[in-house]
Amino acid sequence: MAGRAVLLIPHRGDAADEGGLPGDYRKIVAIVREAGGPVQVRVVGERLRLDASVLGKLEPLRAKMTKLAARGWLHKRGDGRFTARP
């Protein structure tokens, strides 16, 4: 779109539901919801079949989860774990 910025990850209030998220972000939100409580990035990485023993493999996932938290889809707790927003 010429001259207009388009958010790949919309703010939660701007999207009707998680269907407005790209596929990999939708999977992340679903995994956090299924956990039913605070979840570490490593656990989400394991569910996505990433090699969680290599820190560098988890950092891009952490960035995605932090972006989801900044846009209101997840909540990032002070201890670094994430929960789903109701």
Concatenated DSSP letters for 8-68? SS--GGGSSSGGGS-HHHHHHHHHHHHH-S-B-HHHHHHHTT--TTSHHHHHHHHHHHHHH
Give the pLDDT confidence score for residue 15 in this predicted structure.
Answer: 64
pLDDT at 30: 95
Mind listing the pLDDT tens digit for each residue in 17-53? 787 888 899 999 999 999 989 999 999 999 999 998 8
Q: How far is the C-alpha of 24 from the C-alpha of 14, rounded, in Å?
A: 19
pLDDT computed for residue 22 by the predictor: 87
pTM, to two decimals: 0.85
In the predicted structure, residue 2 carries a pLDDT above the cut 60: no
pLDDT for 17 equals: 77
pLDDT tier, 1 (very low <50, low <70, confident <90, very high otherwise):
very low
pLDDT(59) > 50: yes
